Amino acid sequence: MAQQTSKTVRLIKKYPNRRLYDTQSSAYITLADVKELVLGSEEFQVVDAKSGEDLTRSILLQIILEEESGGVPMFSATALSQIIRFYGHAMQGVMGSFLEKNIQVLMDIQDRMAEQSQGLYKQQFGPEVWAQLMNVQTPALQNMMNSYIEQSRNLFVQMQDQMQDQTRSMFSVFPFGEADAEASAKRKKK
Q: Residue 133 contacts by C-beta under 8 Å, 6 or more apart in sequence?
A: 117, 125
Q: What is the pTM of this model?
A: 0.62
Residues of the chain with pLDDT under 50: 1-5
Q: Give residue 161's identity as a one-letter amino acid code.
A: D
Q: Give residue 156's identity as a one-letter amino acid code.
A: F
Per-residue confidence (pLDDT) for residue 110, from 0 to 100 = 74
Element (H or E) spanning 152, and its range?
helix 127-171
Between the alpha carbon of residue 165 and those of residues 66, 161, 169, the distances in Å are 46, 6, 6
Between the alpha carbon of residue 173 and those of residues 89, 133, 177, the distances in Å are 30, 59, 8
Per-residue confidence (pLDDT) for residue 43, from 0 to 100 = 96
Per-residue confidence (pLDDT) for residue 98, from 0 to 100 = 82
